[in-house]
Amino acid sequence: MRTAYFLAAAMAVAAPLAHAEDMAEVVSRYRTEHGLSAVKTDPQLTAIAERQAQAMAASGIMDHSVAGSFSSRISVVNANRAAENIAAGTKTWAETFRMWQNSPGHNANLLQARADSVGVAVARNEQTRYKIFWAMVIAEKASKEKEVRVAAVPKGKEPKVAAQKKTAERRASAGSSDNPLTAVKDFVCKYLCQ
């Protein structure tokens, strides 16, 4: 009995992942036809796409913010750039993909120059107007090498923006000057010299 339960659970997880990998292969083929790199299926992006597709199906509404703002949903992923395509009412992946190819904004997402990862999902709810809801998240995920490099920046060697921010903070904490021109200069620099 335990084996049957485990097998059913494994199949429930494997089926959507296999389907997502098939859909990712279509995205990769399209990208390589346009001289771009292929993308690989990413479990984090697939989970975000699944959550979005399921939320749209549950509510019957096709909207990017049904499962929360995209920026809040993607914040759990260490990505340099990410985008989301959604659709509803199309019956097949081929039909959905063709629709995205013919939409300038959706096509731009499919052809993000540095994208390397993708997650795709579909959810159904026969009680809704659209019945079928699609979500795709495509991203350029930060490599582990980049993460380590950023984390390993020695103190005092921070990027220029951080150093400028520290300078502005020091100026602000130094107190006001008796000279009104210095006070004005400090005020302006606090907001414009960063």
63-99 pLDDT, tens digit per residue, is 999 999 999 999 999 999 999 999 999 999 999 999 9
The tens digit of pLDDT for each residue in 8-40 reads 333 333 334 447 678 889 999 999 999 999 999
Q: What pLDDT, on the 0 to 100 scale, is given for residue 180?
A: 53
| CB atoms near residue 141 (< 10 Å) | 21
Distance CA 100, CA 106 (A): 5
Contact 139, 77 (CB under 8 A): yes
Beta strand residue intervals within 45-142, DSSP E: 79-88, 117-124, 132-141
As given in the structure block, the two tokens for residue 191 are 């907001």
pLDDT digits (tens, 9 = 90+) for 123-162: 999 999 999 999 999 999 977 544 433 333 344 443 443 4
Q: What is the pLDDT of residue 183?
A: 53
Full strand arrangement of the beta sheet holding 132-141: 40-41, 117-124, 132-141, 79-88
At residue 186, the pLDDT reads 53
SS3 assignment, position 33: helix
Mean pLDDT for the chain overall = 76
User: What pLDDT was estimated at residue 170?
Assistant: 42
